[in-house]
Structure 1
Amino acid sequence: MDLMELLFITLGTAVIVCYGVRLLLFSRMLFPKICFPLSKYFFTSMGEWAVVTGASEGIGRAYAFELAEQGMNVVIMSRTKETLDQVAKEIGATTGQRVKVIVTDLMKDVFSEIEEQLRGLNIGVLVNNVGMLPSFIPCKFLECAELDQTITNVINCNVKTMAKMCKIILPGMDSRGKGVIVNISSGVASIPFPLYTLYAASKVFVERFSQGLQAEYKDKGIIIQAVAPFGVSTRMADYQKTDIVTLSPGDFVKSSLQYLRAGDKTYGSVCHIVLGWLLKSIPLKILYADSMLLGLQDYVKKRALEKGRNNQEPNISHSKSN
């Protein structure tokens, strides 16, 4: 056997092993309850309280309900008092857990007041869910309405709020040596995504920030994870009909929590894991073709017209969808 033949055999073996390991890792995602089990009292062992931002509807509301179902008291935060009070009433009646309501606009400098309201609580779980989609209709960066203000709003809502809430709550977790932080990203952040450029870029920050924090605090016993859903039937997704790809908020949250021990990033469900793999496998030249981008715009515009939506209406997410 000459040197070249040995080299090709070695390279071929390495490729087979590499793809075999990838297939094994992917197969684990199909069976989260078996591969990433959580004990019955996992969440209550983290602490007495869970804090959920953007909890008045959608994914945030679903997280609040599910964590209460797991035996945690919950702090729910959003801008709309009437809606929050109703959610609090429903959680209390359904689960018997205590609910603390904090009415606040997280795009403003309100974090010292929030920290004061959370003082003294044994917080075991933080869900950073609140987020903002600059425009319901996908558009090029320079076509965004009131672009200067939009840039500020997106950074404040999608980036600053998450970092500030971690700054408030992480020290307590660090001192106790346990806790869970879930930061909601988006499936569109899997690639540079034209027409959603600002939004997708802000969600890349969510993922890198979460992954860096997990590396820093993993040895402290704290789980920090970015969750990047695709379709979830919320206001931000225009309440699309649920199917195998578009999940209800409740179904998505139940699924995503099963992946808490699956790593520093998850798509939250089997179908969204497959979508993420497909999106990253398609050549960008195809995804960036004018026909693809125009088709996406036309599809969303058609849905907007059917429901009477304003093309430039920003979607400030007290719910988080995709």
Structure 2
Amino acid sequence: MTNPLFYAKILLFGEYGIIEDSQGLTLPYSFYTGTMKLSDLDSEFEKKSNVSLQKYSEYLKNLELPENFKLNISAFQKDIKKGLFFDSNIPQGYGVGSSGALVAAIFERYSVNKLVPENISKDDLKNLKKVFGEMESYFHGKSSGIDPLICYMNLPILIENKENVDKVSIPASHEGKGAIFLIDSGMTGETGPMVQIFFEKMKTEGFRKTLKEEFIRYNNACIDAFLKKEMNPLFKNLKNLSVWAYEHFKPMIPQNIYNAWKKGLDTNAYYLKLCGSGGGGYILGFTKDYKKAEKMLEGFHKEVIYRF
């Protein structure tokens, strides 16, 4: 039984904005992985995972998927009886795609028509995203399908708008002073309630206006600058994005991060932004001088994900 590994993902730009048609940029994150395994289910973790898969298989059985993307549910359920579980160290509630990796692993293994990620056309990507959206909706309400798509493709993906996504190459990471890094807030975030808060805010015209005119503009400019490796426009727009989130996404920022967030803005030593829906989990940091930022963020657990 070959076990392809599915990596976690990081949404570098586009949190919440992609719900409203902004661009997004996501990267696979190989620090965390998940894979399907068969076992005697000796541990509590394995048993729990097996029971969850059983429940999930019932949901998938009733899902009407397009002909090209059908799943062999009876093979899936047979394997569950044999002791199938999802062996994953991807933290849940951290915005790095734990359910996305699971969906990708199931699709890879039980899809009737095997796809080769490298050869998938833009049209198929669009359809696959829809299929993954339906599969992942089981876990936290409505899903865009983006997380499983990134985990499945294992490539950087540019989200052009609600409908279209494309494979993209990002500038190679190299040892420089600058870095993009993760800060562990030390608490898990629940996607559902955070998204609920966002939709409540969307009911006010003022918020909708500033989201469209400011947040989405800064967000898309950040993606453009990052892909072109233009660091000055990137950091100018990052600051605007970070200020905007500090003012408008307060409920999504974990409380123990408030002061650090503000400190970054006041000193321009680093800028913080949400990683995923927020409320806990990871926060993303960007800095031109990682040594300096690291010192200022003492006491927080940090992981560098990209150097420049």
Q: TM-score, normalised by structure 1?
A: 0.26
Whichever of the two has the greater Rg, that structure is: 1
Task: Kindly indicate which of the two structures has a greater share of residues assigned to strand.
Answer: 2
